Amino acid sequence: MINEIKVLTTIKFLLYLVLLGVFRNGMTDAVVIDIVVTMVIYYLFNSYFIERDIDKLLVIAFVNIINFIITINSLPLTIGITIYSLMFLYQILSNKFLKKHLKQEKSILIIGETEKKPEALKLIEESDDYKGVHHFFKDDLTLFDEKNFMKFIKEKKIHEILVLDKDLKNQVVTNILNVKVTGIKIYNYYEFFEYIRGQLHLEELDEKKLLFDHGFGVYHNQFQKQLKRTVDIILAISVAIVVAPIVVVAALIVKLESRGPVLFKQDRVGEGNKVFKMIKFRSMKLHDENAHSKYAGKTDSRITNFGKIMRKTRIDELPQLWNVIKGEMSFVGPRAEWVKLANEYEKNISFFPLRHTVRPGLTGWAQVNYPYGASEDDMKKKLMYDLYYVKHQTAGIDLVILLKTAGVVFLGKGQ
């Protein structure tokens, strides 16, 4: 449904441009820029729905205020207010119409009765995409008769099939294959978990699955690697130029606020387990690492006042642009882990070293989907996201992560 909302929102802004152009006989650059920026902001924060989410409401309020100001300044007052009001009303009515009439709710068929069934049902509940859940047992050959099975699929309008049983009879496999070629998606539990959560299931993961699993194109797609590195260099240099004034001001504040160096340097684990010096703005007072926790909480007394601001807005990470330029880091990738912690995690967490098969990033799939980790259990959960990223890394998912990160920075949700 979100895609339909995006289409209607795009139509809204196109109409907005047309009406402004008709009534004004040519628009200022400010109006065009406003419309483009507004659409980007709507995408950044996924703010297409008028919801009770306070953050989204604040974003919607902000962009609509800007739209309103520019509209009434571009046109006579009454015409400007009329056009803006019509467009805003269009947004609300189109949202309500889609929610009521066009939302695609899928039906899913579960085949098998295993210990994974309660977990599978929980995953289905987490998603609001499913309106119907149906169950078959693998030994019910009457239902799995070819004609009956196909008839059931059509009558119940099944979109997806989740196969929980690993040991299926040949007739069952044949009938499932017959419906697969008609466009029905087939999942096992492992794949379904990955699809719903955007994670790899550590408990279901083993070396054989990794060996034959599709994905992990990042390992052998040289063009993709070169493209990612080229984008990293261009983006790092461009961002460094833009944020140079912020870097200078931040460095001065860090120096004046507390004694110690401006930059914090620490050994981190990079691609191929190579250790490198990661640099950040120092956000803590000088302290003995051995006398304090390895993790920094939100209320940690070691964090300076300006350090709290830098962590929320990610300003403390701007010096890492140098790490990106040097090729030690990427813009997007798993978080670069402290060597001491990485050694502990490698001993206690299965498949942890896999996250070091790609360059670490300034931001990543785990960072935008999971809060700051302060324990080994948190690291396990974040690893599930990291491995999903390693498996599915593309320019597209990198862009999504960068846009989500922009939302985190804009709303001050970092730590």
**What digits encode the pLDDT tens for the residues 359-390?**
999 999 999 888 777 788 899 999 999 999 99
Average pLDDT, integer, range 232-261: 93
| Residue 350: pLDDT over 80 | yes
Q: What per-residue confidence (pLDDT) applies to 67?
A: 61
pLDDT of amino acid 330: 96
Per-residue pLDDT at 170: 80
| Interacting residues of 389 by C-beta distance below 8 A, sequence separation 6+ | 332, 333, 334, 364, 365, 366, 397, 401
Mean pLDDT confidence for 17-44? 54
Does residue 269 surpass a pLDDT of 80?
yes
Q: What one-letter code names the amino acid at 242?
A: V
Q: How confident is the model at residue 68 (pLDDT cuts 50, 70, 90)?
A: low
Confidence of residue 13 (pLDDT cuts 50, 70, 90): low
Average of pLDDT values for 181-198?
Answer: 91
Q: In the chain, how many H helices and how many E strands? A: 16, 9
pLDDT for 49 equals 47
Position 148 confidence tier, pLDDT thresholds 50, 70, 90: confident
| Predicted local confidence at residue 152, as pLDDT | 85
Question: Which of 282-296, 329-343, 348-362, 369-383 is predicted with the least confidence, judged by mean pLDDT?
Answer: 282-296
Cα distances from 404 to residues 367, 369, 381, 413, in angstroms, run 10, 9, 19, 11
Vertex 366: Cα angle to 364 and 372 (nearest 5): 110
pLDDT tier for residue 14 given thresholds of 50, 70 and 90: low
The H-assigned helical ranges of 204-315 are: 207-212, 222-257, 305-313
* Rounded Cα gap, residues 340 and 326, in angstroms: 23
Quickly list DSSP for 145-169: SHHHHHHHHHHTTEEEEEE--SS--
Strand ranges (E), 87-227: 106-111, 130-136, 158-163, 185-188
Looking at the DSSP bridge assignments, the partners of residue 303 are 284
pLDDT score at 83? 61
End-to-end CA distance of the chain: 32
Cβ-contact 199, 193 below 8 angstroms: yes
**Helix (H), strand (E) at residue 265:** strand 263-269
- Give per-residue pLDDT as tens, 111-140: 887 888 889 989 988 887 787 788 776 556
Among 329, 384, 330, smallest CA distance to 352 is for 384
Q: Provide the CA 66 distance to its chain's centre, in angstroms.
A: 27
Mean pLDDT of all residues in 81-108: 64
Distance CA 134, CA 128 (A): 16
